[in-house]
Structure 1
């Protein structure tokens, strides 16, 4: 299973599994405990050069926060721990 998920994420979401993995991050399938709604959680891996990639994370956050279209991914919230961003 997935290791090192912050308590803030685990308290709110039940992690169901890994949907996919790429160069910068991992996408998880999860269920919001309060609403029982299925969601995707993307977290960015901390890899060598991670801090040089922060502009990529910030750009994705800005784009996702501005999108409001049917059938397009909606950013519900985001978290950050000492090492990673969770969208």
Structure 2
């Protein structure tokens, strides 16, 4: 059952290598077992904005590769930034 996987065994989605160490580190911190060790919403928002900015400045090929692998990007918002 999914609740056993996540809550009992600490399971989480696979992190793609293409996401880079900063984003993967951030996601791992969000899953920290101690709630006090997880980032605040303000910090999470700042990190995600920074990572989205990095993606937006990449070439179109790299951006499309990231879009295909990422579930954390609003594809419609990025599409409008051509």
Task: Say yes or no: TM over 0.5.
Answer: no
TM-score (norm 1): 0.33
More strand by share: 1
> Quick check: which has more Rg, 1 or 2?
2
More helix by share: 2
